[in-house]
Amino acid sequence: MIPNQWYPLLESRQIPRHRPIGVTRMGEKMVFWRDEQGKAACAVDLCPHRGVALSAGKVQGDCIQCPFHGFEFDPSGRCTLIPANGRSAEVPKAFNVRAYPVREAHGLVYVWWGAPQAEYPPLPEFDFMRDGRYVYTTFVDHWKTHYSRAIENQLDVVHLPFVHANSIGRGNKTVINGPRYTVTEFAGGHDRIDLWYDGEVERGQKPLRASEMPLADTRPQIQFRFPNIWHNWLGDLHLFIAFVPVDGENTLLYLRTYHTVKAPVLRQVFELAGNLGNLYIERQDRRVVLTQRPLRSQLRMGEKMIAGDGPIIEYRRRREALIEAGENKKIN
């Protein structure tokens, strides 16, 4: 994974108010809980005393309590109590657990994966997520592959007329102009790729190069924000995906449709239809992507790329650069 980045790993609704939950994310067992003010906390799901899962315990005030011997840990990971030693006893630092900084926004739970910072960068987001006109619905799907493969599929515009011939790729527009893309770097990471593309029916013509496409005065069709969120416009709808790494071989896609239909019954019908359509299209992708080998993509891995793969190459280049930049604080 890319270190020193904010990763959305859960939806806020998945963390109950009065009990912990254990999940695997980023290749680690993690425990999430909420303190007395409802603020989310996250730590390694392992008591340093006897190796018990903290997620099997309970929430005591701001702390999570180990179910085995009652050790308590606060949101910073500090062990605040060893009951057998008495409440007045000093707790050695050796009993602290590794905790992760947590932020919540837009109904998502972001975890900082990397070295502690004196000041953390802003969360990765897209502008429309701050627009109060929109509501959203979410469904979650499991892909048995590395998260990089799932992301690259959503930057791949060449596959549309083949994988989605009867849905979003209909029309047999197999000649792909460009695609044209730009990269915007942000202080502290979370760089963004904006993507424009155009498909045409084959008539013997050569596709336009990216440099030959008209200057992009309109909004891009696709945006990707490092390390793991993606956005596509569908008219006045916004399709959002968080590609959540479970481990090196499993990814969860949190797929949201943002819309403005707020009347209760109409919203329910609209969201049901939208989720079914999105699931059908997404499963067309999954069927193919799960066959790719190796599971994890890299910049130099022997694949023979074409011009239409430009955004994927750029993603790999930026991902590798961000990983190398954080090599002094490795988290794999």
- SS3 per residue for 7-52: EEEEEHHHCCCCCCEEEEECCEEEEEEECCCCCEEEEECCCCCCCC
Instruction: Write down the pLDDT at residue 218.
Output: 78
Q: What percent of the chain has pLDDT over 90?
A: 83
Residue 288 has pLDDT above 50, yes or no: yes
State mean pLDDT over 32-57.
97
pTM: 0.92
What mean pLDDT is predicted for residues 131-143? 94
| Separation CA 64–CA 133 (nearest Å) | 37
Q: Which tokens is 87 given?
A: 């409440």
Q: Rounded to an integer, what distance in angstroms lies between the CA atom of residue 218 and that of residue 27? A: 39
pLDDT of residue 215: 67
Q: Which two tokens stand for residue 158?
A: 């060449």
Assess whether pLDDT exceeds 60 at residue 156: yes
- The share of the chain scoring above pLDDT 70, in percent, equals 97
Please give the domain boundaries of the chain with CATH numbers for all domains: 5-113 (2.102.10.10), 127-329 (3.90.380.10)
* Secondary structure of 302-319 in HEC code, one letter for each residue: CCCCCHHHHHHHHHHHHH
- Strand positions, DSSP E, 45-191: 58-60, 63-65, 72-73, 79-81, 99-100, 102-105, 108-113, 135-143, 175-184
Segment 248-283, tens digit of pLDDT? 999 999 999 999 999 999 999 999 999 999 999 999
The type of residue at 187 is: A
pLDDT digits (tens, 9 = 90+) for 300-315: 998 999 999 999 999 9
